[in-house]
Chain A
Amino acid sequence: MKLYLLIPFLPLAAFLINILIGKEVMRDKAHWPSILAVLGSWIITVTSVLPQVVAGKVINEDLYTWILSGKFNASVGFLIDPLTAVMLFVVTTCATLIHIYAVGYMHGDTGYYRFFAYMSLFTFCMLMLVMGNNFLQLYFGWEGVGLCSYFLIGYYFNKKSAADAGKKAFIVNRFGDFGFGIGVFMIFLTFGTLHYVPVFANVGEIVGKTVNFLGWNVDLPTLIALLLFCGAVGKSAQIPLHVWLPDAMEGPTPVSALIHAATMVTAGVFLVARCNPIFNLSAVAMNVVAVIGALTMFFAATIAITQNDIKRIIAYSTCSHLGYMFLACGVGAYGAGIFHLYTHAFFKALLFLAAGSVIHSVHTNDIQEMGGLRKYMPITYAVFVIAGLSAGGFPGLSGFFSKDEIIWSAYASGSYVGKFVWILALAGAFFTPFYTFRLIFVTFHGKYRGGHEEHHGHGAYGATHGEHHIHESPKVMTVPLMFLAAGAIAAGWVGIPPLLGGGEYFAEFLKPVVGLPEFHATHAEEWGVMGLSTTLVFIGLGLSAFLYLRKTDLPEKIATSFSFIYKMLYRKYYVDEFYNFIIIRPTLWIADKILVGITDAKIIEGVVNGVPGGIGNFSQKLRKVQTGLSQHYGIIMAAGAVFIIALALLLR
């Protein structure tokens, strides 16, 4: 019995149930099929798949021939190796907890069944993505999760900003997926197959080959790797295609947690790790991956400092952590990247869900309107702090081990690019706890600043009235939070480096797929690097506490005295404005002036209106022939008969 097949297809069944009979039959019970399905997937993953993979078994089989055309043979097949197993564990665990949380968060929403239908569809696509044994199935899942992301960002579709954000995410991803698609074509052209195993087995053949691409002769491995990375950049919101992720926060918070933090956006990292044999062949591509990851990590972290939307801050944090993962992949430490993916899924999903719990009770996203929530929401506060510490890399928690391994890998890779990204990674190590704890301090400490609208004319009574409504979220929301908090604390313990007495089981587990990077450094240096990054974490934490707990008026002063930098960060380096200027405006101009003005109005409308117009004019003239007088018809008939007879006689 191929039990593992149920892992993706249970959520698909839940999707079908909810989309077909959700509106009429399931209604407020729509969460049952979805939760049971994803829980079933989790149970199968944990009880059946993981033990098999840990025991060293790799499942790779084709289930069904999907497309057979000449040499081209694409199948629906599944590959379960350690990398897939990690992804399966991450996806099913997070999805299960987030589905349960969503029962409380989405309670009473009119689109309840629709929400769970899309969540199940997303889970199915994501699982197909990670389980596929060929590039086409990867692409199928890739586009499927993008589609579900679009559905769920635009879930509140009668809100214009949400609908726009959905479109933005979809269109920005098109740019990346275009490159990814060409990358898959190139792989087929080069290897004649899309299955991972033969492609990676023959990858050595392409070393040093060049190919003519757009008129240039380029190195084949570099080209393929960079094209694949294009897709990863789009999906994982890296510079320059990072603009969609913060806007994607228009979706419901469980969506942000599941899709835009824990699973979908990490698909890019999964792709790079999966294709590591190709990336390893090209130093250029590796450096591009590392540098783009590092730059994204740094820029997103700095932007996060100035934002005020609770979810956007976490979204930039996600961008930044994804940058860490790419940085790790770029220096060859794929294991460290996937390790960070795995720990990040827990603490970032927790951050989002805790933020959702806050939003659920205060009904605003602006942290400047919160404050002092600690005493009303003790559980949320506690898990938020755990998640923040883990994200910030506080020693002993999950995030610390994975982040430390990345920073260490960057340092120890020994190249100049490695050193460059190491410096940025250290800066990130400082910024991450800083902005995370700025968020926590502003939200949970100090005085409650919300409810201003309500106490219009009511004096102090209004304020207390507004504050009175704040309450801890229901159990169905807080219990998943606690489970995730346990993950945020302990998930990283499987990858404790030998230096701290751990076994580094995680890297060993992944070694058959991604190998181990070569380190050119000593133990003393490892201690030094770890000490340095940990010190920076504490400085970031302390500075944040100093600015937002002690001298709460100081941040504003800094903002005004460095208003240029503040403005630039607040406006996110003007990237949106830049894209608006170079892409959106010209596109709209072309659409308006050329496509609508000329193509549509002149050419298409001209043909569409001209042909019937001509026929109409001709008919207007022709109808005069019909006089209604039978004698006229008779004369025409007689004349016609005479004419034809005369013709017949003459032509004989």
Chain B
Amino acid sequence: MVPLSWYMVLSMVVFSIGVFGFLSRRNIIIMFMSIELMLNAVNISLISFSYYIQDLRGQILAFFVIAVAASEAAIGLAIVIALFRNKATAHVDEIHEMKG
């Protein structure tokens, strides 16, 4: 049986890739994908813990995260398309209308 720590390491690595991708990439689609990575990293740790301590609540929570991630992706992509239609770009550096 694979020890829990391996899953933890996997989860951490995926989360870190997600954080790094979110902070370093400028393409808004890639940033979205990074966010999905972070969420899935969390899902991995939730499910592994759930299995390890034999408690189904972790898996239930993972389903919630998946549902939220799906709706977030749907709304986020809709925003991206609307944005692209207006600004003709998907590059976040060029989108700074909210500058104070």
B2 within 8 Å of A (CB atoms): no
CB pair A626–B92 under 8 Å, yes or no, is: no
Interface residues on B, range: 10 to 19
Partner of B92 from A623, A625, A631 at Cβ < 8 Å: A631
Q: B96: which of A622, A624, A628 is its contact (CB, 8 Å)? A: A628
Q: Does A459 contact B (CB under 8 A)?
A: no
Kindly list chain B residues whose C-beta atoms are within 8 Å of the C-beta of A627.
96, 99-100
Against A, the Cβ 8 Å flags (1 = close, 0 = not) of B68-100 are: 000000000000000000000000110111111
Cβ-defined contact, B23 with A638, below 8 A: yes
Residues of B9-39 whose CB lies within 8 A of A = 19, 22-23, 26, 31
Asked if A635 is at the interface of the complex by the 8 Å CB criterion, the answer is yes
Contact B92 A629, beta carbon cutoff 8 Å: yes
Interchain nearest-CB distance for A93 vs B (Å): 78
Chain B residue at smallest Cβ distance from A626: B100
Write out the residue numbers on chain A whose beta carbons fall within 8 Å of the beta carbon of B96: 627-629
The minimal Cβ–Cβ distance linking A297 to chain B, given in whole angstroms, is 79
Interface residue? A612 (CB, 8 A): no
Beyond A634-B23, A638-B19, A638-B23, is A628–B31 a contact (Cβ under 8 Å)? no
Which B residue sits closest to A619, measured CB to CB?
B100
Roughly how many angstroms separate A625 CA and B99 CA in the complex, as a whole number? 9
Q: Return chain A residues, CB-CB under 8 Å to B19.
A: 638
Contact A629 B100, CB 8 Å, known A634-B22, A635-B23, A638-B19: no
Q: Which A residues are in CB contact (< 8 Å) with B31?
A: 630
Which chain A residue has the least Cβ–Cβ distance from B35?
A634
Contact with B along A66-107 (1 / 0, CB 8 A): 000000000000000000000000000000000000000000
Q: Would A630 and B100 be within 8 Å (CB), given that A635-B23, A638-B23 are in contact?
A: no
Per-residue A-contact encoding for B49-71, CB less than 8 Å = 1, 0 else: 00000000000000000000000
Cβ of A622: which chain B residues have Cβ within 8 Å of it? 100
Question: Smallest Cβ distance from B15 to chain A, in angstroms?
Answer: 11
Query: Is A623's CB under 8 angstroms from B100's CB?
Result: yes
Residue picked from B23, B31, B95, most chain A C-beta under 10 Å: B23
CB distance from B1 to the nearest CB of A (A): 29
Whether B23 contacts A628 by the Cβ 8 Å rule is no
- Shortest C-beta distance, B41 to chain A (Å), equals 14
Q: Is the CB of A628 within 8 A of B22?
A: no
The B-contacting residues of A in range 597-652, CB under 8 angstroms, are 622-631, 634-635, 638
**In the complex the two chains form, is B100's CB within 8 Å of A624's CB?**
yes
Interchain CA distance A186-B75 in the complex, whole Å: 79
Interface pair B98/A626, CB less than 8 Å apart: yes
| Residue from A626, A631, A635, A638 in contact with B99 in the complex, judged by beta carbons closer than 8 Å | A626
**What's the nearest-Cβ distance from chain A to residue B31, in Å?**
7
Given contacts A630-B31, A630-B92, contact A625 B23 (CB under 8 A): no
User: B62 → chain A, closest Cβ, in Å?
Assistant: 21
Question: Which of B19, B26, B92, B100 has the most C-beta atoms of chain A within 10 angstroms of its own C-beta?
Answer: B100
User: In the bound complex, what is the Cα–Cα distance between A634 and B97 (angstroms)?
Assistant: 17
With CB as the reference atom, state the residue of chain B lying closest to A638: B19
A630 to B26, CA, bound (A): 9
Name the residue of chain A whose CB is nearest to the CB of B95: A628
Alpha-carbon distance A626/B22, docked complex (angstroms): 18
In the assembled complex, the CB of A622 is this many whole angstroms from the nearest CB of chain B, namely: 8
Nearest A residue to B92 via CB reads: A630
Task: Please measure, in the bound complex, the distance between the C-alpha atom of A44 and the C-alpha atom of B92, giving whole angstroms.
Answer: 90
Tell me, rounded to whole Å, the shortest Cβ–Cβ distance linking B2 to chain A: 26
Complex Cα gap A627–B97 (Å): 9
Cα A626 to Cα B23 with chains together (Å): 17
Q: With A and B bound together, what is the CA distance between A630 and B95 in angstroms?
A: 9
Tell whether, in the assembled complex, residue B93 and residue A629 are in contact, meaning their CB atoms are under 8 Å apart. yes
Bound-state CA distance A635–B24 (Å) is 10
Please give me the residue from chain A that is nearest to B19 by CB atom: A638
B23: contacting residue among A623, A624, A631, CB under 8 A: A631
Contacting residues, chain B, for A625 (C-beta < 8 A)? 100
Q: How far is the CA of A629 from the CA of B100 in the complex (A)?
A: 11
- Give the shortest distance, in Å, between B78 (CB) and chain A (any CB): 17
Taken together as a complex, chains A and B put the C-alpha atoms of A627 and B19 apart, in Å, by: 20
Provide the bound-state CA to CA distance between A626 and B100, in Å.
5
Cα–Cα, bound, A313→B70 (Å): 96
* Docked CA distance A626–B92 (Å): 15
- Closest Cβ of chain A: how far from B60's Cβ, in Å? 25
Tell me the bound Cα distance from A625 to B22 in angstroms.
20
A250–B96 CA distance with the chains assembled, in angstroms: 70
Whole-angstrom CA separation of A489 from B19 in the bound complex: 109
Chain B residue at smallest Cβ distance from A625: B100
A-B contact pairs, 16 of them (CB 8 A): A623-B100, A624-B100, A625-B100, A626-B98, A626-B100, A627-B96, A627-B100, A628-B95, A628-B98, A628-B100, A629-B93, A631-B22, A631-B92, A634-B22, A638-B19, A638-B23
17 additional contacts (CB under 8 A) given A623-B100, A627-B99, A628-B100 = A626-B99, A626-B100, A627-B96, A628-B95, A628-B98, A628-B99, A629-B92, A629-B93, A630-B31, A630-B92, A631-B22, A631-B23, A631-B26, A634-B23, A635-B23, A638-B19, A638-B23
Measured CB to CB, the residues of B under 8 A from A are 19, 22-23, 26, 31, 92-93, 95-100
Sorted nearest first, the 8 A-B pairs with minimum C-beta distance are A628-B96, A626-B100, A628-B99, A623-B100, A628-B98, A634-B23, A630-B92, A634-B22
